[in-house]
Chains A and B, each alone.
Chain A
Amino acid sequence: MSILSVHDIKKSYGAIQAVGGVSFEVEPGEILGVIGPNGSGKTTLFNSILGQIKPDTGRVEFEGKDISGGSPLELSRLGIGRTFQNLQVFGKLSLRDNLILAAQEHTGTFWGRMFAPPDNGLADRAQEMLDLFRLNHVADLPAGSLSYGQQKLVDIAMAFMPKPRLVLLDEPCAGVNPSLVDGLRELLVELNRKQGGSFVVIEHNMDFIMKLCHRVVCMVEGKVLAVGKPEEIQGNRAVLEAYLGN
């Protein structure tokens, strides 16, 4: 059974069709890339999966369970993590607290957490992530005081803290110093290998996507133009035209 299956999502804004019937599946452990020129409907699709907007038609299933229109809270509890395109860390909390927060609501009960130790038993897990992301030296600074690239890493680390079975990454490379992009990719590969789970990555950086992903979905004008292994997509004439024509 696939981890995530998207069935025939359609969404229009007035006369403009942002997404016009998109379907695809994500297999366990798979890293799936979603590419497409600006305005191809990637973000609308992403938001439909995450319940942020309600698609006109279509269904989203997570591990066979219909999650269409689920709240961010429900999705998080189910084991779906996400990262944000723009910076969304908790600026006044320390980096360590950001990480612990990202997972603390996934263990124990609401009332139990009132009496739980401050770290809710997550100190070691947070340390593991700090080591992996090489953010140890800034672990106790307020997250808001870190550089843009570092905050971006924090955002990604937060998504992985509770060991989600599916992570949606919204342009992880946007705003990250090009020299750090390779490192980021290696990190994601390592996370995929170490803790499993499937990733869906929206990204403009072709090189990044092609090296990272197992499969790539190319969207144009709200529809899926091509699906396949990175090398297939790279060699696909229609894909090249869609990008060159843009």
Chain B
Amino acid sequence: MTDFMQLLLSGVATGAIYAMAALGFTLLWQAAGTINFAQGEFVMLPAFAMLIGMSMGLPLWASFIVAVALSILVLGAAFKKWIVDPMRGSGVVSVVVATLGLSIGLKSFVKASYSAEPHPFPSIFGDEVFKLAGVTISYSDVGALVFAGLMVVGLQAFLNKTITGRAMQAVAQNTFAAEALGINVKRMIFYTFAINAILVTVTALLITPTYLAKFDMGDNIGLKAFFAAIIGGFNNSRGALLGGILVGVLENLAGAYLTPAYKDGVALALFLTVILIKPDGLLGTPQERKV
């Protein structure tokens, strides 16, 4: 039982981290119709940015702040301006291929320019553990859960309660109507990219201690984020949270009780089950087929 509680807790913590990457992914899709196959690499880059920051003598928190700023600039503004904007109107397929190309390019770039080896990465919450009712709990799990939980809940509140957040949702639902209402659509879309940039940087901060900083770490994270987003419902931002936690918990439990070798296949199995039964995801709403 204590084992189970432990697995559950760390599963929820990992799941909350997946949920952040998934949430950013969903937001980009909603606001700009961009399916970002490079989302995993968008997590990997800030991890290396923080590593470089620390190797230059900055403490972790300071390099995190620098990484957030860089992310907004590069993964937010530059990505939008130089890749997404010029491809407007050229269809989902081209965007998919372009972001896949970006994924290959970024991976190889880091491999070539930095290193092909995995690098250890410190946890901001330290390595200590404590015991509660016989359950061993690590500070980093609790910290990740709380941090990720706050991010997701905070973002939900921002989207639902603030004027800017509501404007962003309006843009996501109907760009033309939003424009007619006088909403600055371009700026709202940029905000979405900026939020995604922040989300991936936080994801990097929380997940790299377990995954280690490696050029191809994004393969796994990206895939989990996609699956979490689709399981929860591609057009629903709360779905990303549900999907992330489901994936995190189930793969932890399956890894311990069924087979550790196929732990990474759990997300796929869950994804296939969900799309076969409910193609729009657990919390998604059906989309009309358009002629």
Contacts and interface: CB of A to CB of B under 8 A. Distances in A.
B291 interface: yes
A86 B291 CA distance: 9
A88 B291 CA distance: 8
A84 B291 CA distance: 10
Contacts of A86: 291
Contacts, number: 3
Contacts of A88: 291
Interface string A56-89: 0000000000000000000000000000101010
Interface residues on A, range: under 10
Nearest to A85: B291
B91 to A, nearest CB: 13
A84 B290 CA distance: 13
B234 to A, nearest CB: 24
3 contacts: A84-B291, A86-B291, A88-B291
Interface of B is mostly: loop
Contacts of A84: 291
Contacts of B291: 84, 86, 88
A216 B291 CA distance: 28
Interface of B: 291
Nearest to B289: A52
A227 B100 CA distance: 58
A99 B230 CA distance: 39
Interface string A37-49: 0000000000000
A147 to B, nearest CB: 21
A49 to B, nearest CB: 16
A86 B290 CA distance: 12
The 3 closest A-B pairs by CB, nearest first: A88-B291, A84-B291, A86-B291
A92 B175 CA distance: 29
A14 to B, nearest CB: 15
A96 B106 CA distance: 45
B286 to A, nearest CB: 14
A127 B291 CA distance: 28
Interface in A162-197: none
Interface in A86-102: 86, 88
A135 B194 CA distance: 52
Nearest to A52: B291
A42 to B, nearest CB: 17
A41 B187 CA distance: 40
A201 to B, nearest CB: 19
A142 B291 CA distance: 20
A88 B290 CA distance: 12
Nearest to A86: B291
A231 B291 CA distance: 36
A127 to B, nearest CB: 29
A88 to B, nearest CB: 7
A50 to B, nearest CB: 11
A185 B291 CA distance: 26
B63 to A, nearest CB: 50
